[in-house]
Amino acid sequence: MTDLIILIVAAFVGGILNTIAGGGTFLTFPALVFVGVPPVMANATATFMALPGYLAGAAGFRGEMKAWGKRSMIRLTIVAAIGGGSGAILLSISSNEAFSTFVPFLLLAATLIFTYGDRIRAWAASYSRDVKPEGAFGIFLVALYGGYFNGGLGIVFLALFTMWGMSNIHLMNGLKLWASGTIAIISFFVFANSGLLDWEKALIMMVAGTIGGYLGAPLARSLPIHRVKQFISLVGFTMTAIFFARLVL
């Protein structure tokens, strides 16, 4: 019962955070590990449970994405699927011992990406003239990361789109969510075929996360976004420290 409460609370609060500013993975993935789910399965399950949120969010930006063009959308989808599938396969053949070694560093990277997301986008904008728009290689690399470890994925996509010279934040958010959803769908098939999903926990957390995401909408309008981001960064750095301690001890 204690484990169930931990998972429900983590998913619920994670759903709220994702609606407001992102970063729900900093709660859902550690929660699964803490209740005894092996690290590789925990990562796969956390990616799967984020799928409904990605697709629902992308649907909200369908008007902006239509304006981007069908050909470009197809290209983005195919490359994201290939990259995400490659990352998911890489995770599926990783041992829990090997993945556990990388987890603290992945969490640290994701936390830094989240914390300094605005600066990363500003840096990316300074190189926008030097990057070929809609480059497939960039999509593939980001999707590869997303298939292997989902943390901070949205911010990395936003930085990539900024490097392309894009400035319409609504279009960028739509593409980010669509690409992330594509990665999660492909990863789901890889993980399910590899037996890496804890179905019971995933479904429970999906429900709690969806409710949290829905209730997070009015909070997003009332809470100061910079304070929420500070809280999420604190959670991310705390979880990183805990996993580093687990690695050392």
- What's the pLDDT tens digit per position in 43-57? 999 999 888 878 877
The amino acid present at 68, given as its one-letter code, is: W
pLDDT at 105: 92
- Residue 59: is its pLDDT beyond 90? no
Cα 192 to chain centroid, rounded: 19
Greatest pairwise CA separation for the chain in angstroms: 55
pLDDT in tens, 112-149: 888 887 787 777 777 655 555 557 888 999 999 999 98
The position carrying tokens 């900024």 is 162
pTM of this structure = 0.84
Cα torsion through 126, 132, 138, 140, rounded to 10: 160
User: How many Å apart are CA 37 and CA 30, to the nearest integer?
Assistant: 10
Provide mean pLDDT across the span 200-207: 92
* pLDDT for residue 134: 58
